[in-house]
Amino acid sequence: MRNLNQILDAGKNKFLPEGIMKSEIEQIDNLVRISQKGFIKGVPLWDSDEEDYLEVDEMPNPDYKRPTPSIQKWIDADYYKHDTDKRWEYMCSPAQVKYKKEKILSDPNLKKSIYGFLGIIPFNPSVMINISPDWKGLFDLTSIEGKHPKALLSSAIETYLGSCNRYSKWKYCLECGGEGNFLHAHIVAEINPDCVKSVMTHINKGSHKYELMKAWDKYLKGQKSLPYAKWQSGKDNLKGKVGLLKGKFAVQRIILNHPSLRDDKLKYLIEANKPEGHTNAFDLNFVRGDF
């Protein structure tokens, strides 16, 4: 069974805190409820004299919108009888409500209308790709020599992501690891909704790893000589170092099929957001992309 909260970080399997993921119906229900309130309670005000919060009178709801036919259809799905002042007496069972609302969402025109009314941006599946090259301890990321491996890794990533239209938007970060000597990367990329099936095939076959290795090799072939004092081969360049990505765990991926999961992974790319046990020795401040 695939654990969607597990991540390979600096060569170690770590677990992210599990986020609370609401269903699509729950999210829409919440937004519809807010949009239909004519008045809402204001935020309580702090009274320094009383050292307590003062209740504030109701105020017009700035998010109120008159329901459209599609939103009214969604609201009516909660009841099996609508033409009454005591609608709560005719509430459907949770199973009936779920069935009726799933049916509404299965109609692309109704779904588009509801999303437009609520200002929801449609969710598209994403993928998280973690890259951990086999080069721990081979260079000092705090010195000038650290710029070369960063250039290599970022070039390989951006060449892969930009090679075709597989991904509609993406963001990635480079990190130094807990000991500060292990450069690795995390990518979150949204799969292009126009080619989801082909991209999923590409990922499931492991072609993403093959193409990252090709992009890695392409960068190396374009370099004359890169200074490294600690390379295992004893040479002063990176020629032939494609093998650094060949390991079983060098390139791993997780499919993100829920917006909350995607948002958790995007948040994880920022050093300040990392939970205990996931922080790096220092922040490389290397986050790129438009996601």
Local structure of residue 211 (DSSP, 8 states): H
Position 188 scores a pLDDT of: 97
Burial per residue of 103-117, b for 16 or more beta-carbon CB atoms within 10 angstroms, e otherwise: ebeeeeebbebbbeb
Q: Across 142-268, where does the E strand assignment appear?
A: 167-175, 184-191, 251-256
Structure tokens at 274: 């990392």
Position 228 scores a pLDDT of: 40
Position 227 scores a pLDDT of: 45
CB-based contact 40:21 (threshold 8 Å): no
The model's pTM is 0.69
Position 235 scores a pLDDT of: 43
In angstroms, rounded to a whole number, what is the distance separating the alpha carbons of residues 71 and 28?
A: 10
CB-based contact 152:216 (threshold 8 Å): yes
Structure tokens at 141: 């990321």
Angle among Cα 191, 114, 92 to the nearest 5 degrees reads 115
Position 224 scores a pLDDT of: 55
Structure tokens at 230: 């600690």
Position 217 scores a pLDDT of: 85
Position 242 scores a pLDDT of: 58
Q: Which residues contact 253 (CB under 8 A, 6 or more apart)?
A: 127, 128, 129, 130, 203, 208
Q: Could you list the pLDDT tens digit for every one of the 291 residues in the chain? A: 345 555 555 555 555 555 455 788 998 999 999 999 998 887 777 777 767 777 878 889 888 999 999 999 999 999 988 877 888 788 999 999 999 999 999 999 999 999 999 988 788 999 999 999 988 888 888 888 788 899 999 999 999 999 889 999 999 999 999 999 999 999 999 999 999 999 999 999 999 999 999 999 888 777 655 544 344 343 444 444 656 888 888 999 999 998 888 989 999 999 999 988 889 999 999 999 999
Domains in the chain: ranges and CATH: 24-118 (no CATH), 124-289 (3.30.70)
In angstroms, rounded to a whole number, what is the distance separating the alpha carbons of residues 170 and 126?
A: 9
Q: Which residues contact 125 (CB under 8 A, 6 or more apart)?
A: 190, 191, 196, 200, 255, 256, 257
